[in-house]
Amino acid sequence: MDHAADAHRTDLMTITRFVLNEQSKYPESRGDFTILLNHIVLGCKFVCSAVNKAGLAKLIGLAGETNVQGEEQKKLDVLSNEVFIKALVSSGRTCILVSEEDEEATFVEQPKRGRYCVVFDPLDGSSNIDCGVSIGTIFGIYMVNDSHEPTLDDVLQPGKNMLAAGYCMYGSSCTLVLSTGEGVNGFTLDPSLGEFILTHPDIKIPKKGKIYSVNEGNAKNWDGPTAKYVEKCKFPKDGSSSKSLRYIGSMVADVHRTLLYGGIFLYPADKKSPNGKLRVLYEVFPMSFLMEQAGGQAFTGKQRALDLVPNKIHERSPIFLGSYDDVEEIKALYAAEEKKE
């Protein structure tokens, strides 16, 4: 990348311009989706600013309560959640919001109601704030089929019905990765302009990668196929090089690296968490959607991740996602295990 040349570029593709360009391909579009995305982007900018100031503003202390998942809540979690809920409601384009931080779904009152359901994790990996590791926001967008009184069923849809998904990573730079169902694009926040600029157009994940990403501390509780796959990564029998292990423990950061460099991210079910740890609606689905749009795959150990139909808003699932060929290998191991049974 020629940074010197970049510094003098005047034709900047901002995220707003990009989304408006996409909108112009649909003559029937009323711009509702564009307005909704603008409010999500505003929420991301606010959280990015708060995360950058966390150490100074003493926002790091615990909020003194645990969220519905039993995790200690940081003040930044509470703040981020409030910011996104207010931004989404005030957009006038949403009817149901599902947040990782709230036990119940939020139903938007009639005058401000729109056609979209948004599922989100306002601050994923927040236990890493104290040590400066990248954290992020994950979101997915569904549309309500008709204008009836919205119910939870409108949001308990399979991931393949999502209209759009993305994440914003707050790290050395603030990066927003988005798919509206036609490929994946990455935008980086230019702090001097206060705008997200297109820096990673049409992201394609390599077909095969050299990195695997998993919490090996859970190895004693893994099932057979996961254990075999990780063994194969370390000690390949076909003479190829071993894969490198990279695990940050912040899903946004681990998936972002997997998307750009290839490889596989694993969060399997184990004896301790027989249904896996990651939540289907606002972690598994958006990340699986992005992976597939970038040419990769996402698998639960039993089926394509986006075909899952959740029964509860905080349901969990195992997940294996990443490069196409790497996920094929784990699928083959699960298929072989099934045959044995």
Question: Does residue 6 lie in a domain region?
Answer: no
Q: Considering 200, 235, 257, which residue would you say is the last residue of a domain? A: 200
Question: Does residue 264 lie in a domain region?
Answer: yes
Q: What is the pLDDT of residue 51?
A: 87
Q: Mind spelling out the 3-state secondary structure of 33-98? A: HHHHHHHHHHHHHHHHHHHHCCCCCCCCCEEEEECCCCCEEEHHHHHHHHHHHHHHHHCCCEEEEE
Q: What is the pLDDT of residue 196?
A: 97
Q: What is the pLDDT of residue 8?
A: 56
- Both 223 and 294 in one domain: the answer is yes
- Both 194 and 314 in one domain: the answer is no
- Both 137 and 184 in one domain: the answer is yes
- Both 232 and 142 in one domain: the answer is no
Ramachandran class of 234: left when φ > 0, alpha when ψ lies in -120 to 50, beta otherwise: alpha
- Both 64 and 142 in one domain: the answer is yes
- Both 78 and 176 in one domain: the answer is yes
Q: How many domains does the chain have?
A: 2
**CATH number of 158's domain:** 3.30.540.10
Question: Does residue 4 lie in a domain region?
Answer: no
Q: What is the pLDDT of residue 25?
A: 84
Spatial CA neighbour of 6 closest among 190, 238, 205: 190
Q: Considering 165, 200, 235, which residue would you say is the last residue of a domain? A: 200
Q: What is the pLDDT of residue 148?
A: 73
Q: What is the pLDDT of residue 53?
A: 80
Question: Which tens digits make up the pLDDT trace of 197-214?
Answer: 999 999 999 999 999 999
Question: Does residue 178 lie in a domain region?
Answer: yes
Residue with tokens 């100074």: 56
**Containing structural domain, residue 180:** 15-200
- Both 284 and 172 in one domain: the answer is no
Q: What is the pLDDT of residue 100?
A: 96
- Both 290 and 144 in one domain: the answer is no
- Both 132 and 233 in one domain: the answer is no
List CB contacts of 122: < 8 A, sequence separation 6 or more: 47, 77, 80, 81, 83, 84, 99, 100, 101, 137
Cα–Cα distances (Å) from 223 to 44, 163, 248, 267, 276, in that order, read: 37, 34, 22, 12, 12
Instruction: Work out the angle at residue 94's Cα, subtended by the Cα atoms of residues 91 and 100, and round it to the nearest 5 degrees.
Output: 105
**CATH number of 222's domain:** 3.40.190.80
Q: What is the pLDDT of residue 59?
A: 53
Spatial CA neighbour of 136 closest among 152, 149, 123: 123
Q: Mind spelling out the 3-state secondary structure of 120-138? A: EEEEECHHHHHHCCCEEEE
Query: CA–CA separation, 151 vs 105, rounded Å?
Result: 10
Question: Does residue 40 lie in a domain region?
Answer: yes
Question: Which tens digits make up the pLDDT trace of 6-47?
Answer: 555 667 899 999 999 888 888 878 889 999 999 999 999 999
Q: Report the run of H or E that residue 304 belongs to, with start and end.
A: none
Q: Are strands 244-245 and 211-213 parallel, antiparallel or unpaired?
A: parallel
Query: CA–CA separation, 130 vs 150, rounded Å?
Result: 39
Q: What is the pLDDT of residue 30?
A: 84
Q: Considering 158, 179, 200, which residue would you say is the last residue of a domain? A: 200
Q: Which two tokens stand for residue 19?
A: 């989304």
- Both 182 and 87 in one domain: the answer is yes
Query: CA–CA separation, 122 vs 74, rounded Å?
Result: 12
Q: Which stretches of the chain drop beneath a pLDDT of 70?
A: 1-10, 55-74, 147
Q: Report the run of H or E that residue 10 belongs to, with start and end.
A: none
- Both 217 and 101 in one domain: the answer is no
- Both 34 and 165 in one domain: the answer is yes
